[in-house]
Amino acid sequence: MARSFSTPVQTVLNGSNRVKYFFLIELVLGSTYNFTSFYRDISWDSKTWNSDGGLFEVDSPQFSSIVDREAYRVVLTDLDDTLQSEFRSGVIGKAINVYVGFCDSNGDPLTGAGDIVSIYSGYVDSPQVAIDWETKTASIEGTSPMADLDQVKTVMVSRDGMDQFDATDTAYDRIFEDSETLVKWGKI
């Protein structure tokens, strides 16, 4: 499936040898954070995207024709410990959205309806903070859409095991106490 672009973006892509672009990152953690890689703040989607929020590195979008487990990574500077505090309070499973925007021939961002393209939408999987002599960075890895395929969950097939889910369910009352069963998912 081919991606379609707005007319102003298509004009920029067709008319220039060098395309200028920027990223917009939305982190929906305890609070919502909107960052941009553009040199000044941008207003888009009724939000202000902060240019001095320390957007340090963004993975390039990966297009794949196969089902894989590619994760998406964003690195931000965290000199004021805001993101580190968020990480301590628990951010795994919180939303992360990444968009790319383009600049016109004058270097101004195109922010009209349909000019900004979504390149990643997922959930925080692996947050970490790295401190070195020059800077402190917060790295956020977003889950791949296929991440759940590697997930392993143990279910105790016993009366007590079922009580963890529903104390009124009697389906496992006559099964041997505390025996485990390995169930393979998919075709055998």
Q: Which one has a higher pLDDT value, 160 or 105?
A: 105
Extract the tokens encoding 112. 């009209």
| Gap between the Cα atoms of 175 and 153, Å rounded | 20
pTM of this prediction?
0.70
**What is the C-alpha R_g of the chain?**
22
Per-residue burial over 112-149, b if 16 or more Cβ lie within 10 Å, else e, is eeebbbebbebebbebeeeeeeeebbbbbbbbbeeeee
* Residue 122: pLDDT band with limits 50, 70, 90: confident
Residue 101, pLDDT score: 92
DSSP helix/strand/coil, 163: helix
pLDDT at residue 154 in the model? 65
d(CA 36, CA 28): 15
Structure-model confidence comparison of residues 136 and 183, the more confident one: 136
* CA dist 27 → 6, 32, 138, 141 (Å): 25, 6, 12, 12
Q: Contact, 144 vs 122, CB < 8 A?
A: yes
Instruction: Judge whether residue 63 has pLDDT over 60.
Output: no
How high is the pLDDT of residue 103?
Answer: 92
| Per-residue model confidence (pLDDT) at position 149 | 55
Domain boundaries along the sequence of the chain: 7-146, 152-188
Distance (Å, whole) CA 182 – CA 23: 45
Specify the pLDDT at position 32: 93
Instruction: Give 89's pLDDT tier (boundaries 50, 70, 90).
Output: confident
> What's the pLDDT at 36?
92
Burial class (CB in 10 A: 0-12, 13-18, 19+), 171: exposed
